[in-house]
Structure 1
Amino acid sequence: MVKDQADVLREKMLSANNKINNVNVIEKNAKVIAVVSGKGGVGKSNFSVNFGISLQRLGKRVLIIDLDIGMANVDILLGKTSYHSIVDLLERELSLKDIVENGPEGLSYISGGSGLAEIFEMDQMKVNDFLSKLSELEKQFDYILFDMAAGISTNSLSFLLSVHEIIIVTTPEPTSVTDAYAAVKHITLQDDQIPVSLVVNRTRNSRDGESTAQNMITVCSQFLKKDLHHIASVPDDEVVWKAVRSQTPFVLKFPKSKPAIVMRNTAKFFENKNKKMESTATVGHSFVSKLKSFFKS
């Protein structure tokens, strides 16, 4: 029986759909997000921790990797003691089970260790082992949050250019905004396609947050041709400092506070946005595959 053109077309469409479905199943990896800031002291790590817990409470599997070298404090903010770091994955040849720590609400985290430079100076055998273990993490979690060091370095840039999305945290202070703009510029000059979201922390009121965000959005659009997405303004509230001192994330210690409500809403907004992206049948790149290109052969 000779197939007409309609039959052939239907078969091709069915084959293409099957391929897309198979790819979605096989290549379903974690969404990898880097949380950065232009300068230190803006509350970046505190945002990472509370944002991660808020995503976890939505039923997502979340891992925070502390890469804020020299200022690593994710474990302190979580009220935990860490015995291993991401570098132990290589230096001591430990397994993932050995270095992934359990945080509150089912959150997982890996503590920060020595410099990123050490990772990029490894021999090829260790590089392959490191990337293989990172690839395992991609399959085990829905979200991986990298809490990066303040500012942009050569080595941190390699990680930043490999992630699916960047969240930049600033405060309304002029120096913080200027440094945040410099960070966005540095990233955009290397890759203008990476989505960048903006969080304004420690705002006096909603108008303060909106004004700061709008200034950043306008400047980045005008001079960098880069669209920023303002996803949250977190109010400057005493409960945040009380939570830090007690080493308990504020979304847990003060769940009815304004900062906690903002964080929950931000996580819901982010997850809904991610679902819409997934519904378009677009398959994001593998973070590990892209990172691999930055290592020397």
Structure 2
Amino acid sequence: MHDQAASLRRQLEISKDPRQARTIAVVSGKGGVGKSNVALNFSLELLNQDKKVLLLDLDVGMGNIDILLGLHSEKTIVDMFTGHLSVHDIIETGPRGLAYVAAGSGLTDLFMMDQEKRDYFYQQYDELVKMYDYIIFDMGAGATNDSLSLILASDECVVVTTPEPTSITDAYGMIKHILNKQRNMPISVIMNRSASVKSGYQALDRFQRVVTQFLDVEIQKLGILPDDKIVSTAVIRQIPYVLLNEKAAVSKAIKEIVNNYTSYGTEYQQQKSTSFVTKLKQFMMER
């Protein structure tokens, strides 16, 4: 009876304020570039602009969104299948009312689902897109055959890299891999841990030119984030840096990135695209 009442309340909320969430996959070519921290603080700044956001930790084996928040998640996305739960039962609430779903140790099983469980996932996700403005996937570093289906089905992809040569090389490889599978995937880039604003934008410009020259595609430059000491302090204290000190250089930078993203948008956001579930079904069938 309780579940039925909750479902009715959700349907009423959807009918009063219909949404069609945009699915964003946040990825990186290698680990250790601060991808999860970027995804988390980006999500919190979207909330600050009165956007309704759901953050899904899909980093297989390395999920750490709840750790960055200093919270313990009772349920994970794996429980939706093994415990026969609704997706609404596994959504946790973080600071500023952030809705998030923690990763689970058996997350790889998601990609080995039988048809019944896949259909259940599709049905649950169809409910989510009607409730949020943005659904953000914090994907694992690199691209496995398993995770690639979720990335390719997303409306757009945000690549997080740093100016380090190995990070740049891996980010380029990641973009090339995605484009080889889906040529028209909208891709944006954030240059994290920049030594200065000038050097950060120079690195971002160089990266964009290389991608354009060798992959013959335009990527969107979302902006740069400085190498700010407050980030490590925030991680240790398990408080997102935009909440720990909103006047810090990195907090101001992520705010500017999100302001530009939402105020001006991108040409990608204007495009009417096939739904995430429809695309995911197609990619799963092709596996």
TM-score by length of 1: 0.87
What is the DSSP-based 3-state SS (H/G/I as helix, E as strand, rest coil) of the residue aligned with 2:217? coil
Give CA-to-partner distance per residue, 1:102-135, whole Å, 9 cap, x none: 0100111000113554222211111101110111
Larger Rg: 1
Partner of 2:142: 151
Q: How far apart, in 2, do the equivalents of 1:245 and 1:276 lie?
A: 38
Residue 152 and residue 134 in structure 1: after superposition, are their counterparts in 2 closer, same or farther (change >3 A)?
same
Partner of 2:98: 107
Contact 1:45 1:147 in 2 (8 A): yes
Q: How far apart, in 2, do the equivalents of 1:28 and 1:273 lie?
A: 20
Partner of 2:274: 285
Partner of 2:75: 84
Partner of 1:161: 152
Q: From 215, 233, 254, give the equivalent of 1:224.
A: 215
Q: How far apart, in 2, do the equivalents of 1:220 and 1:95 lie?
A: 41
Give CA-to-partner distance per residue, 1:28-56, whole Å, 9 cap, x none: 42010000000000000000000000001
Partner of 1:65: 56
> Superposed, which structure 2 residues align to 1:152-231 within 5 Å?
152-231=143-222
User: How many residue pairs align between the two structures?
Assistant: 271
Contact 1:116 1:155 in 2 (8 A): no
What is the identity, as a one-letter code, of the residue corresponding to 2:264? K
User: How much has 1:277 moved relative to structure 2?
Assistant: 6.5
User: How much has 1:268 moved relative to structure 2?
Assistant: 1.2
Residue 257 and residue 101 in structure 1: after superposition, are their counterparts in 2 closer, same or farther (change >3 A)?
same
TM-score by length of 2: 0.90
What is the identity, as a one-letter code, of the residue corresponding to 1:198? V
Q: How far apart, in 2, do the equivalents of 1:218 and 1:277 lie?
A: 20
Contact 1:204 1:236 in 2 (8 A): yes
Give CA-to-partner distance per residue, 1:190-218, whole Å, 9 cap, x none: 11211111101011101221121112111
Give CA-to-partner distance per residue, 1:48-75, whole Å, 9 cap, x none: 0000000011000001000111111001
What is the DSSP-based 3-state SS (H/G/I as helix, E as strand, rest coil) of the residue aligned with 1:60? coil
Partner of 1:22: none
What is the DSSP-based 3-state SS (H/G/I as helix, E as strand, rest coil) of the residue aligned with 2:157? strand
User: How much has 1:26 moved relative to structure 2?
Assistant: 11
Partner of 1:30: 21
Partner of 1:74: 65
Contact 2:41 2:242 in 1 (8 A): yes
User: How much has 1:88 moved relative to structure 2?
Assistant: 1.1
Contact 1:34 1:147 in 2 (8 A): yes
Contact 2:156 2:268 in 1 (8 A): no
Partner of 1:14: none
The alignment status of 1:138 with 2:129, answered yes or no, reads yes
Contact 1:202 1:237 in 2 (8 A): yes
What is the DSSP-based 3-state SS (H/G/I as helix, E as strand, rest coil) of the residue aligned with 1:202? strand
Give CA-to-partner distance per residue, 1:164-195, whole Å, 9 cap, x none: 11100001110000000000000011112111
Can you give the 5+ residue segments of structure 2 that lack an aligned partner in the other structure?
A: 1-15
Q: How far apart, in 2, do the equivalents of 1:199 and 1:107 lie?
A: 22
What is the DSSP-based 3-state SS (H/G/I as helix, E as strand, rest coil) of the residue aligned with 1:294? helix
What is the identity, as a one-letter code, of the residue corresponding to 1:98? D
What is the identity, as a one-letter code, of the residue corresponding to 1:200? M
Can you give the 5+ residue segments of structure 1 that lack an aligned partner in the other structure?
A: 1-24
What is the identity, as a one-letter code, of the residue corresponding to 2:206? N
Residue 29 and residue 230 in structure 1: after superposition, are their counterparts in 2 closer, same or farther (change >3 A)?
same
Give CA-to-partner distance per residue, 1:208-232, whole Å, 9 cap, x none: 2112111211111111111111111
Overall identity of the aligned pairs, in %: 42
Partner of 1:47: 38
Q: From 43, 47, 56, give the equivalent of 1:56.
A: 47
Residue 125 and residue 26 in structure 1: after superposition, are their counterparts in 2 closer, same or farther (change >3 A)?
farther
User: How much has 1:276 moved relative to structure 2?
Assistant: 7.4
What is the DSSP-based 3-state SS (H/G/I as helix, E as strand, rest coil) of the residue aligned with 2:209? helix
User: How much has 1:80 moved relative to structure 2?
Assistant: 1.1
What is the identity, as a one-letter code, of the residue corresponding to 1:222? Q
Q: How far apart, in 1, do the equivalents of 2:167 and 2:114 lie?
A: 38
Contact 1:29 1:286 in 2 (8 A): no
Contact 1:65 1:146 in 2 (8 A): yes
Deviating 4+ runs (over 6 angstroms) = 275-278
